Amino acid sequence: MKTALLWGMGVIVVAVIAVFALLPGDRLAPPSAFPELFGPYLGQPEPGDMPRLFAPCLLGEALHAPPIFSADGDSVYWCRMDSEGTDEILWMRREDDVWQPPEIVPFSSRLAGSDSPFLSSDGERLYFTSFRPTSLGRLFANRETLWVSDRTATRWGAARSLRFDGPPPSVHWAFSITSNGTLYFGFERDIYVAELDSEVYNAPRSIGPPISTVGREGMPYVAPDGSYMLFASDGHAGHLGNMDLYLSIRQPDGAWGEPIHLPPPVNSVHQDIYPSMSPDGRYLFFLSTRGGEHSAYWVDASVVTDLLP
């Protein structure tokens, strides 16, 4: 009886893993439909200080993450929601200056989704959020948590959940990890921070004032050296739309400075969220509904850097 029960549980576990490993590649356009793209940033015309759509015919609309480029500029990752309501991370790579057709990341899951890609500063780790269970005991928990895949010689490896001192926190949408491993993420109207200690994260804590308000704060991007933070909020002064982008600068005593509202035309009367700086520090990417659906925009990074000390 016990053997049969263990065998049955093993079958269930294998079946679940198999479902999570399914690749939804049939939902991509065939390579023959892909245009020829050359040069950095998919060959797109550079923006000035006026935000412009980034590769709309390629990335599309209903995005859940703006494009995230690797430090060498030879790969890019973004996230879209398909017609079935599942988030999936796509990526492209540049070979001999030619961008190859997009692929779905190998650790993608039809059932649990893969969202909000974030590359480590050395490009060796790809972090993301997913509803896949972190353990057999949490098979039906239905919580969005943090996962990571390590780069191998030929591709991205199998995904594993981040380790926490206690139950893994729920994480929704954008998050950020600094060069020393400190994690910043948004959940339930606030931004949280957790420090890394020997590959295990400490219990997250609220980032607190002056960033936290009675409104909504989330989707933080923190500079690799931790010197400044960009985030979305509707709780601070000056916001124009559903949510706006703000900048907070780390003070000499280590505290976060009073948030600075990024002025128009970066912010608009629509929803402006999910800020991310390009690795070379030249551009700010973000999502906005100013054209209807959530689409990717980019603008010269001076809209941020001119506000820094």
User: Which helix or strand (DSSP H or E) is residue 129 part of?
Assistant: strand 125-130
Residue 83 above 60 pLDDT?
Answer: no
Q: Decide the pairing of beta strands 200-201 and 160-161.
A: unpaired
∠ CA 146-148-152, rounded to 5°: 175
DSSP states of 141-186? ----EEEEEEB-SSSB---EEPPBSSSPPP--S-EEE-TT--EEEE
Query: Closest by alpha carbon to 260, among 269, 272, 270, 247?
Result: 247
What does the alpha-carbon distance between residue 159 and residue 176 come to, in Å, rounded to a whole number?
18
Contact 201, 145 (CB under 8 A): no
Q: What is the pTM for the complete model shown?
A: 0.88
Higher pLDDT among residues 40 and 25, named by residue: 40
What does the alpha-carbon distance between residue 71 and residue 84 come to, in Å, rounded to a whole number?
32
Residue 30 above 60 pLDDT?
Answer: no
Report the pLDDT value the prediction gives residue 255, as an integer from 0 to 100. Answer: 97
Contact 136, 129 (CB under 8 A): no
Q: Which residues pair with 288 in a beta bridge?
A: 272, 295
CATH number for the domain that contains residue 47: 2.120.10.30
Report the pLDDT value the prediction gives residue 182, as an integer from 0 to 100. Answer: 97
Report the pLDDT value the prediction gives residue 9, as an integer from 0 to 100. Answer: 47
Q: What is the mean pLDDT of the chain?
A: 87
Domain range holding 66?
2-305
Tens-digit pLDDT profile for residues 151-188 = 988 889 999 999 999 888 889 889 999 999 999 999 98
Q: How many domains does the chain have?
A: 1
- Report residue 169: phi and psi, to 5°: -75, 155
Report the pLDDT value the prediction gives residue 272, as an integer from 0 to 100. Answer: 97
